Amino acid sequence: MGESKTVHSALVTYTSMISLLTLCPPFVILLWYTMVHADGSVLQTFEYLKQHGLQGLKDIWPAPSPIAWKLIACFGAFEAIIQLALPGKRVEGPISPNGNIPVYKANGLQAYAVTLVTYLSLWWFGIFNPVIVYDHLGEIYSALVMGSLVFCLLLYLKGHVAPSSSDSGSSGNFIIDFYWGMELYPRIGKHFDIKVFTNCRFGMMSWAVLAVTYCIKQYETNGRVSDSMLVNTVLMLVYITKFFWWEAGYWCTMDIAHDRAGFYICWGCLVWVPSIYTSPGMYLVNHPVNLGTQLALFILVSGLLCIYINYDCDRQRQEFRRTNGKCLIWGKAPSKIVASYRTEKGETKTSLLLTSGWWGVSRHFHYVPEILAAFFWSVPALFNHFLPYFYVLFLTILLFDRAKRDDDRCASKYGKYWKMYCNKVPYRVIPGIH
């Protein structure tokens, strides 16, 4: 059975699924409530819940309103249409465990530009005011919580009834199938890739749209945008631009090439990204911090540098793979390990493992600038409250966990070659420490 079945035991699945279903939806709502209605203070929300208990949580939990459903449906439909309609280069993903090669149309950057230009034009010409999105944010999150559950059930049924490729199958356990997913590459028809839609075109795109929304809300409320909000928004948008510029590279990562499309990944993209990832900007709407030009520029430049290093790490590895190791890394021929491994069908294949450049610093060094970039777009909030830093904390845990999962997968795939690699590049994430 596919990898996702062996990596996670039933106990881990039950625990994480129950905690995700019971703790994350209230967390998303409480985060929104704290940022928007409780002055960003965790203590204030905690006191409120201590006094009112579960009833208090019920009282602040907004019902998904018709306008929220309408906004989500319009955004989703718009993104789905441009995903299909915009031209793009044909890109092949990595060979799947069952030997399938998924084919994509790389039009992410175009879709991103069209989305932002459309959204800003609707505001500029007075057709639609993005403030409406901010004012109904709680209802939107509430609708996304429910909607993503239904969406994942439909994915589960599709995996049983009409899988898109042979990279699918059941573990015989409903909960494991629902949580980790049935299919690796679910599609509607031949061309509409569901994971590209949920992860990139809904999740990442909603991050950009909400970042702009928070900016516009602050502008409409105060008549100006604070320098802290500008730094936050610029860094987030540059990072998301890098993501879409890099989208075809993302299709080769664990999220797409190894994790099946189940509740775990779809919930993250449909609910967690629009709420948690955007939260530093959500906080700044009602807390227009004035940094002053010097500090604002320092934070901005530091953040941009981190995003660039993160991009350069990925670029190095992609260039190395594309040229089969015949390229220059930092002006020198790369050092590498030629590793052979056996596929599920018993064929022997080889891979090149890069051990110089950024990839000689540590095995997952690219996570360091990614975490630092998130810190730099959160730090304009300064240090009055902890909550704006929750995303940085979450991202650190997520990426360290991903580094470990990736290492475990590579160790079982490459065996002795992975040991050689680890001897050459001993640190997992932080050079000299971890």
Instruction: Provide the pLDDT for residue 334.
Output: 93
Q: Is the dihedral of CA 405, 410, 412, 413 positive or negative?
A: positive
* CA gap 266, 180 in Å, rounded: 10
Instruction: Provide the pLDDT for residue 8.
Output: 60
pTM summary value: 0.91
pLDDT per residue as tens, the chain (434 positions): 333 444 567 787 788 788 877 898 999 999 999 999 999 999 999 999 999 999 999 999 999 999 999 999 999 999 999 999 999 999 998 888 788 889 999 999 999 999 999 999 999 999 999 999 999 999 999 999 999 999 999 999 999 888 888 888 888 888 888 888 889 989 998 889 999 999 999 999 999 999 999 999 999 999 999 999 999 999 999 999 999 999 998 998 878 888 889 888 888 899 999 999 999 999 999 999 999 999 999 999 999 999 999 999 999 998 998 898 999 999 999 999 998 888 777 778 888 899 999 999 999 999 999 999 999 999 999 999 999 999 999 999 989 988 998 899 899 989 999 999 999 999 999 998 87
